Amino acid sequence: MLATTSDMPTAASASAGPRRPERTASALSILVVDDDPIEVRILRKHLSEAGYSVLIARDGEEALEALATEAPRLTVTDLMMPKMDGIAFCKALRGSVVGRQMQVIMLTGCEEEESLVGALEAGADDYVIKPVRPRELLARVRAAHRTILLQDQLRRDKDDIRRYAAELAFANRKLQEAALTDHLTGLPNRRCAMERLAQEWAASARNDQMLACIFVDVDNFKQVNDRYGHDVGDQVIREIGAVLKTAARECDVVCRIGGEEFVVICRDTDEAGAAHLAERARQDLEQHVFGTPGLDSQVTLSAGVAVRAGGMCRPGDLLNAADAAVYAAKKAGRNCIKIASVGMNSFTSEE
């Protein structure tokens, strides 16, 4: 049966019955494993007087059973015991999850090298030669206690490092998102558009797939800012971004590349498909009712459509072709779609 320091009643406590010793947050719990009652009494006296909380087990088997309910950080165990001696107990202790975290001091009356080496190889951290000298015992217990405190600090430091690393990774992700996101619309920004266009260009070349780009420019947007102010203009841009996002497919990438200009990157899409998407977006915006108080002007867009063709050498050529097509849409009276066609040496625009 596991006993504690309070199991030995004093005159003051005999009438009150046994009670478990009080443990402070800083108290070290020590499990003493010994079948000699006199030795146990001596160990318990010196350890308790030094401020440690002491638990008693009479042999290794009882000590192992105690670990199921108790959580001592240090074990002082005799080498020679019935049922399970100190060596077997120590090996069993080191084989358990709880036991691997404990400090073990072995008590032995044998000073032979082979015996001491056997105890240490079984998993003991230190040993004390019997008969036990109190000052030596307490010095070794304090050394073990320092090791326990250092282990605890190391675990806290590791936890802190893991937490800081997770927080840093989260912050980095947020910064990366901010660096690639347009703050007004929440859409990918110009930098992200260029990176994504380069990625889709490479995938298109690698897989021999079609790639289309739609360049969108809001018509007469300067008049909206001049007439209603930039706050209204910002709201209009936000809603246009939402209209384009709704009109696009899930696989399309809608980006705001600056001011009133947007780009839609359409993977595995031919000219007709991209033109259909652009026309759908144009019609949706033409019919859109803005939720901006006082805005009574119709807002429209002009768009240029380009597809990756043999005369193009880099992603910028595709974007430039779509830009040229939107310029043609502006010249044609705005609120329309133009498709870029590839000539032998240059890009021209057609409806």
71 vs 147, more confident: 147
Hey, what are 219's tokens?
Answer: 């018509």
Residue 138's pLDDT band, with cuts at 50, 70 and 90, is very high
Ramachandran sector of residue 282 (left: φ over 0; alpha: ψ -120 to 50; beta: rest)? alpha
Q: What average pLDDT does the chain have?
A: 87
Residue 3's pLDDT band, with cuts at 50, 70 and 90, is low
**Residue 221 predicted with pLDDT over 90:** yes
Closest to 306 (Cα-Cα) out of 296, 315, 293? 315
Cα 351 to Cα 343: distance, rounded to the nearest angstrom: 15
Which residues are annotated as catalytic?
260
Cα 213 to Cα 177: distance, rounded to the nearest angstrom: 23
Write the single-letter amino acid at 46: H
**Residue 23 predicted with pLDDT over 50:** no
Cα 183 to Cα 173: distance, rounded to the nearest angstrom: 16
Residue 6's pLDDT band, with cuts at 50, 70 and 90, is very low
pLDDT at 142: 94
Alpha helices (H) in 60-122, listed in sequence order: 60-66, 86-94, 113-122
How confident is the model over 8-21, as a mean pLDDT?
36
How confident is the model over 267-292, as a mean pLDDT?
94
Residue 234's pLDDT band, with cuts at 50, 70 and 90, is very high
Q: Which of 80-89, 142-151, 153-162 has the lowest mean pLDDT?
A: 80-89
**Residue 268 predicted with pLDDT over 70:** yes
**Integer CA distances (angstroms), 224 to 70, 102, 285, in order:** 75, 74, 15
% helix, strand, coil for the chain, step of 5: 50, 20, 35
Instruction: Decide: pTM greater than 0.85.
Output: no
Residue with tokens 């494993």: 33
What residue ranges define each of the domains in the chain, with the CATH number in brackets? 3-157 (3.40.50.2300), 190-350 (3.30.70.270)
**Residue 39 predicted with pLDDT over 80:** yes
By the 10 Å C-beta count (0-12 exposed, 13-18 middle, 19+ buried), 349 is classed as buried
